[in-house]
Chains A and B, each alone.
Chain A
């Protein structure tokens, strides 16, 4: 009698895929072929399992059953223990499934993240560009202000120098030459004295007086010329200073822009380094998941396993027939064909299988064996 139809079977026993009891009313359990009695529950043997992929789950179940004690003679205690174990089993089963499925999902997520990893996020790039633009505009504004200030200062200087040339010597009063005369000539004539002899002296004195005045005037002219040259020099000096200041401002602007560029490049480099580090971390995480066997590299559950899980319980028994615990689940010929491992590199064979399945979704065992001579031996 099968447990499914036997009132003496507990839920745990059903869930565990227990083999049928010989007598539901008797606590002495006799397990079928390929099953081992573990603390009153039949657990499928690993070495006699048609689907090795699910063995770990049976092992887990077996461990829990071992740790959970035995079914007592008292039916109430037995059911209580069984209910506890069932919950433990369901929890562990969920965990085991989550470990596989979760890892797969996580791998998918990580692979998705890897697509954009190693690149600076556009938001950061935009931010850096914005900061650079703002900085450039600010430096430009500061340069304009400084340039206007400088131009204003030198314009004021030029106006002053133009309107207030130093020209004191050119406007200075010319030297006055005192005139010396023979003011006694009239008197001498009135006395009948000829005073012509004094005239040479008078002329000599006037020449000396005029010479002194001329020398003074020439000195003023020389000094005035020096002042004019000085005025020209000042204007040239103003122009030079204006030019140099403009050059200095341009240089400072270039320095500021260069520093800004350096900062931007440094920030870009740091962002790039972080992105690369993130990429490496993602690759390490994927490597851990794949290398640890939690999932395949693609992060997807193989189709053959998905198909298998549709009809088979974790313990390897057929979902649709709990009563047939001793027999492996009966798969269709196509399902068996899909379950046969084929190297991914053998694209020709994979393509051939896909085409056959597409054309013959309900192919019989004979058709499969006919189409695939070698692989068909595994289809029964």
Chain B
């Protein structure tokens, strides 16, 4: 009848273990998501000027060069077509980069939130254990008094 602290220590260990497992899994998933999410961003960022693996020009120099060949781009030449093409490219690039970064950020926040929820559950669990322990002590005290 008398309370046994080891029971609550067992519960505490189980809770800690469960939280640690969940936190570790969440951290790993977050890392994977960050790696995966960062990859298209990097590709988008590099694609503008970085030469291709086969030695080709980046997308921006390539665009400029293609308009230059057609005489639509050069010194003293003010081509509306080139302007629109460059702005369109810039817009598409900014949109794609923005979406990719926001997606990554949202995903990361999801993992952060999951981590916080896990920690909150862990702390709530610890509080529950302490509350149950106090109740058990009180209950045992009542039982002892009832037994006399």
Could you tell me which A residues sit within 8 Å of B by CB distance? 138-139, 142-143, 145-147, 149-150, 152-154, 156-157, 160-161, 164, 166, 168-169, 172-173, 175-178, 180-185, 187-188, 191-195, 197-198, 201-202, 205-206, 208-209, 212-213, 216, 219-220, 223, 227, 230, 234, 237-238, 241-242, 245, 248-249, 252-253, 256
Q: CB within 8 A of B97: which of A146, A180, A245?
A: A180
Q: Tell me the minimal C-beta distance from A252 to chain B in angstroms.
A: 5
A160 touches B105 (CB 8 A): no
Q: Does B135 contact A (CB under 8 A)?
A: yes
Q: B120 — nearest CB in chain A belongs to which residue? A: A168
Q: A201 — nearest CB in chain B belongs to which residue? A: B91
Q: Tell me the minimal C-beta distance from A345 to chain B in angstroms.
A: 62
| Known A-B contacts A150-B141, A187-B60; A176 and B148 likewise in contact (beta carbons under 8 Å) | no
Query: Across the A-B interface, how many residue pairs have beta carbons closer than 8 Å?
Result: 167
Majority-rule SS of B interface residues = helix
Interface residues on B, range: 35 or more
Residues of A within 8 A of B86 (CB): 184, 188, 191, 193, 195
A249 touches B141 (CB 8 A): yes
B126 touches A164 (CB 8 A): yes
Q: B87 — nearest CB in chain A belongs to which residue? A: A197
| Known A-B contacts A172-B112, A197-B87; A157 and B148 likewise in contact (beta carbons under 8 Å) | no
Could you tell me which B residues sit within 8 Å of A by CB distance? 48, 60, 64, 73, 78, 82-83, 86-87, 89-91, 93-95, 97-99, 101-102, 104-106, 108-109, 112-113, 116, 119-120, 123-124, 126-127, 130-131, 133-138, 140-142, 144-146, 148
B140 touches A212 (CB 8 A): no
B91 touches A160 (CB 8 A): no
Residues of A within 8 A of B146 (CB): 252
Majority-rule SS of A interface residues = helix
Residues of A within 8 A of B91 (CB): 197-198, 201
Q: B75 — nearest CB in chain A belongs to which residue? A: A192
Q: B100 — nearest CB in chain A belongs to which residue? A: A178
| Known A-B contacts A249-B142, A256-B148; A188 and B87 likewise in contact (beta carbons under 8 Å) | yes
Bound Cα distance from A191 to B64, whole angstroms: 9
B95 touches A146 (CB 8 A): no
Q: CB within 8 A of B142: which of A169, A194, A213, A245?
A: A245
B95 touches A205 (CB 8 A): yes
Residues of B within 8 A of A164 (CB): 123, 126-127
A238 touches B113 (CB 8 A): no
B137 touches A201 (CB 8 A): no
